[in-house]
Amino acid sequence: MRQNERADDHAKRALRREILLARGRLTADDVRESATALADRALGLPELAHARTVAAYVSVGSEPGTHALLDALRARGVRVLLPALLPDNDLDWGPYTGEESLARVRHGGGRMTLFEPSGERLGPDAVTGADVVLLPGLAVDARGMRLGRGGGSYDRVLARLERAGAHPALVVLLYDTEVVERVPEEPHDRPVHAVVTPSGARRFD
């Protein structure tokens, strides 16, 4: 790893810690109110308004909430796909048909709990058929560069989309304070098309 890449990696780690600490100070009411606003703002985004298939995820803890948005998309007749974490950190996908279709799954020796689809698995390539991919993240900057948690799962998703020649809209859901001036980037990082926060949506060129 070259010196500048090491510096970018260090800067990413520092920014992740800062944002996760801020999220940890949010109350359950804060998260719930933000989730409602996020759903309203996201549903007004033209990409989501016209989508037939959306690859999304189930928020956990103090992440920007997705539950209200998932149910609103289903109510519109949108096919919603949710990820399931594989042992190599890649993602399989399965359909979301309501809260009853979710299973609580522990990963990393029980250190991390995720909600994953409990039914049919469609394979990692199912994401290439989505019109919109909702990406989890910790921050995005004025260029649309996204800071993830560092696990690499969504880097694989983005690489798979590129290999398949698929061009879904890439949208990240964040809190208002997580839209920052600049996110440290590495050569494999790719920009998103839009960010949605409780106060509004912003597109990137």
Q: What is the DSSP string of 72-83?
A: HHHHTT-EEEEE
Reported as a pLDDT band with limits 50, 70 and 90, residue 10 is confident
Q: Give the integer Cα–Cα distance in Å for 59 and 45.
A: 20
Each residue's pLDDT tens digit, 43-58: 999 999 999 999 999 9
Taking only Cα atoms into account, the Rg of the chain, rounded to an integer number of angstroms, comes to 16
Q: Give the integer Cα–Cα distance in Å for 27 and 153.
A: 28
Give me the chain's average pLDDT, please: 91
Residue type at 76? R
Q: By three-state DSSP, how is residue 64 classified?
A: coil
Each residue's pLDDT tens digit, 99-125: 899 999 887 666 778 899 998 999 999
Q: Can you give the pLDDT at residue 6? A: 67
Identify the CATH homologous superfamily for domain 3-203.
NagB/RpiA/CoA transferase-like (3.40.50.10420)
Q: Can you give the pLDDT at residue 5? A: 56
Reported as a pLDDT band with limits 50, 70 and 90, residue 150 is confident
* Selection from 8, 124, 114 nearest residue 63 by Cα: 114
The token pair that represents 99 in the structure block: 């809260």
Across the range 136-156, mean pLDDT stands at 91
Where in the chain are the domains?
3-203
In the block, residue with structure tokens 């994401």: 127
pTM: 0.91
Q: Give the integer Cα–Cα distance in Å for 172 and 56.
A: 10
Reported as a pLDDT band with limits 50, 70 and 90, residue 152 is confident
Across the range 82-109, mean pLDDT stands at 91
